[in-house]
Chains A and B, each alone.
Chain A
Amino acid sequence: MSAPFVVGIDLGTTHTAIAQCLVEQGAVENSSPLQLEPVSQLSGPSRLESLPLLPSFLYFAADGEQALALPWDDSRDFAVGSWARDHGASTPGRVISSAKSWLSHSGVDRRAELLPPHGAPDIEKISPVEASFRYLDHLAESWSQDHEEALGDQEVILTVPASFDAGARDLTVEAAYAAGFENVFLLEEPQAALYAWLEASGDAWREHLKVGDVILVIDIGGGTTDFSAISVQDNDGDLGFSRIAVGDHILLGGDNIDLALAHTIKQKLTGFRHCVDNAALQSLTHACRAAKERLLSENRPEQVPVALAQRGAKLLGGVVQTDLRAEEVDNLVLNGFFPEVTLDDRPRSRARGALTQIGLPYASDPAISKHLVQFLHQHGPDGQALTPTRVLFNGGVLKSTAIRERLLQMLGGWFPTTTISELPSTDLDGAVARGACYYGQVRRGRGIRIRGGTGRAYYVGVESPAPAIPGIEPPVSALCVAPLGMEEGSEVALPDTELGLIVGEAVQFRFFSSTTRTEPAGTLHESVDSTDLVELAPIEITLTADGRSEGDVVAIHLEASITAVGTLLLEAVPTTPLQPDERWKIELSVRG
């Protein structure tokens, strides 16, 4: 008996959304209309509210703070959601934000208690995995207020950025399992956006697309920017989809834009006394966001006043105001984040400071258009740029007509001989959750599935025997174990590539991935020093000796498979097994 509900969850960097539909008697044709499920959360102290989105923020109670009780937990000492975000903005040491970006940050141990990074000393910090778990757990708790069936027992599609590597995917699934989700599947966010478009268009979608079209999905959320390309192919006479490229994870989004505007306005308000403190900057950011949205919409005015009230109870005489002018927004937002560039431009990389605090690897070039050029170049045929014919926008930033137009106009300029048109999208905030829910229906046989498999190829580092030389590490070559585009449920074995595996003592694995290399499994690269190979977090594990002596080098070959959930499974299979099914599982989310 399959679960009654199909649920899509967009576990976003700044917002989490959940969509559901009820599948009557297990028949997907009889599904109830897909809808966003409101999430019960604190919207203020001792104030509960059902809101369409759950802001992905976690606030830790201060000593004696009693107002975080929930109907299902009256002694809760942390809050998730709207109040956590609002309250946390004026108490930065007690709030976790962007946990998802930390989840994909391979430079840190993502199971270690490191959030919030600059937390107050009395806070018991939690790991990025734990934070993700708490968001999902909150969804499950809120769900149980309105449904008899537990959320964990439903079929849940959880979205991840296309750029998430195998480790980050595993950790996401781990958080979901911890929250009791037994039946969980992963889906890439840009694909979810396309599914949402397909769902919203009904049968009319075929009129918008033809064989040969390449859909560029541009997803700019609060904290991250993600690009993907999906091609439209002929599938036995019908249209089919194949995801052909995914971009790298870019930590750059709407929050950067709002912050930049707030700083500009701050400088204009020189007479303002408390101009620099966090809370003032927060209300300034809010005020700027509203003004920006007005100035980036159609029929915009020349300028929009921005008024900022001081903290005290005196409002009259306590408000400073200035104007945000259309040209300022153009300069800062359009020219700063979406400058008109050519196909030869690339994002500028800044020389990194030698000493740095542990933090997120933010993008150093704010020009999103340059990142887009880089993406198109990395995935085009034979050194050419990839040429899209359709564009699907997703994410809150792209609600702005002016930004969408700027991007379309630039694409038109780069590819003058191609007609590039926009696929009209609606509900940019809830699309990913809706699309994920629709994909749950597709999994049960309704509609068209996007093919494409893994967005990355995976490589394992193999140390070569070499005479010891002081100061020189033994050379490491990269062996492709899972090629780009491996489909869910498929597996690759490398019986010809025999390797030595050390069991019974701690060993370190190095993994690399590439979003651009399209070579078959088994390909060996002499060197790992290549710009298109990105090293994953190193993995340190002790594989059980189990009948062999510790430190033994066992002759093995590797097998890679993509699980039904959507995660990568690597296994080492001994050439001469001691037991009939002897093999070692190598988990990519384990950290050294």
Chain B
Amino acid sequence: MQAALTLGQRIPLAFRHFFRVLFDGQFAASAGAECRSLPPAITVGDVTLTSTPETADSPHPPSSTLGESTLMSPSGQNEPHDKSSERERGALMLLSLLQQDGRLIDFLQQDVEGHSDGDLAAAARVVHAGCRKTLNARTQIAPLLSEPEGSPVTVPAGYGSQSYKLSGNISGPAPYSGTLEHPGWRSSGLQLPIPAPDHDAEILAPAEVLL
């Protein structure tokens, strides 16, 4: 769950959005639409899922009141889960899996400044082991070129610029000769779980509550 912002953080944000609504017609339109389509609160068990009232100059909700947990939704939307496109849903699903197994979002959302190398190394082990497991279970990743780094390679005529990134002195027609600096990566595709109709792709990790 995203932490509530302090007043000091909220003021500049509010101003930024005030001016953005004023000068960015596109942004103002979407912000307005969000305000109009706010769904009512849904109750699940004892936790209230609230879609936060949002105005253009206050995109984030006030910090949650004591004793009642409030689920925040950054976009202010809480309606049908087809809001993300197929493509986005897949990407969000992968993020969610990398967080679940490898705590990737936790890691990236934290500021690394001020932490010791020891802390970083310990965290990296958790992230590395978990994310690697997830990736290996869902795709096979292999180098694009089998030659070792530093060896001479020939870039064929008609090479795809997605497969080869050339640097240095490029002149004349391909094929080119050069030195391999990075062999590239290729994945075998990606196997992802199928979301149920009620699956909300934007929730990357649930709030965890110990009873």
Contact = CB atoms under 8 A, between A and B. Distances in A.
B158 interface: no
Contacts of B199: 45-47
A69 B110 contact: no
A317 B117 CA distance: 10
Contacts of A70: 196
A48 B193 contact: yes
A69 B100 CA distance: 20
Nearest to A283: B126
B198 A64 contact: no
Nearest to B128: A307
Given A64-B44, A320-B122, A315 B198 contact: no
Interface in A24-81: 43-49, 62-67, 69-71, 74
B194 interface: yes
B45 A62 contact: yes
A66 B199 CA distance: 10
B194 to A, nearest CB: 4
Given A43-B193, A46-B196, A316-B110, A309 B126 contact: yes
B194 A47 contact: yes
A315 B194 contact: no
B125 A307 contact: yes
A315 B126 contact: yes
Nearest to B198: A46
B184 interface: no
24 contacts: A46-B199, A47-B193, A47-B195, A47-B199, A48-B193, A67-B196, A69-B196, A70-B196, A290-B129, A307-B122, A307-B125, A307-B126, A309-B106, A314-B110, A315-B103, A315-B106, A315-B110, A316-B107, A316-B112, A317-B115, A318-B123, A319-B125, A319-B126, A321-B125
Given A47-B195, A49-B193, A316 B45 contact: no
Nearest to A274: B210
Interface string B115-139: 1000110110111010000000000
B109 interface: yes
Contacts of A46: 195-196, 198-200
Interface of B: 1, 44-45, 93, 100, 103, 106-107, 109-110, 112, 115, 119-120, 122-123, 125-127, 129, 193-200, 206, 208, 210
Nearest to A306: B125
A520 interface: no
A223 B63 CA distance: 48
A63 B45 contact: yes
A70 B193 CA distance: 13
Contacts of B119: 316-317, 319
A289 to B, nearest CB: 12
A272 to B, nearest CB: 12
A62 B211 CA distance: 12
Interface residues of A, number: 34
A119 to B, nearest CB: 15
A563 B127 CA distance: 55
A66 B44 contact: yes
B196 A315 contact: no
Contact of B115 (A305, A309, A316): A316
A313 interface: yes
Given A309-B126, A317-B119, 11 more contacts: A43-B193, A47-B199, A48-B194, A62-B45, A67-B196, A307-B129, A313-B110, A315-B103, A315-B126, A315-B127, A316-B115
Nearest to B133: A290
B122 to A, nearest CB: 4
A48 to B, nearest CB: 4
B3 to A, nearest CB: 9
A312 to B, nearest CB: 8
A541 B208 CA distance: 51
A311 interface: yes
A369 to B, nearest CB: 32
Given A62-B45, A290-B129, A314-B106, A67 B198 contact: yes
Contacts of B126: 307-309, 315, 319
Nearest to A66: B198
Contacts of B93: 47
Contacts of B210: 277, 311
Contacts of B106: 309, 313-315
B108 to A, nearest CB: 9
Contacts of B103: 309, 315
A317 B123 CA distance: 8
A49 B196 contact: no
Interface centre among B112, B120, B126, B196 (most CB of A within 10 A): B196
Contacts of A69: 196-198
A49 B45 contact: no
A44 B195 CA distance: 9
B28 to A, nearest CB: 33
Interface centre among A290, A311, A313 (most CB of B within 10 A): A313
A311 B206 CA distance: 12
B152 to A, nearest CB: 33
A64 B198 CA distance: 14
B88 to A, nearest CB: 16
Contacts of B123: 309, 315-316, 318-319
B85 to A, nearest CB: 18
Q: Give the top 9 A-B pairs by smallest Cβ distance, nearest first.
A: A46-B199, A64-B45, A319-B122, A46-B196, A49-B193, A307-B125, A47-B193, A315-B106, A48-B194
B194 A49 contact: yes
Contacts of B198: 46, 66-67, 69
A63 B211 CA distance: 14
A358 B196 CA distance: 38
A174 B196 CA distance: 32
B186 to A, nearest CB: 24
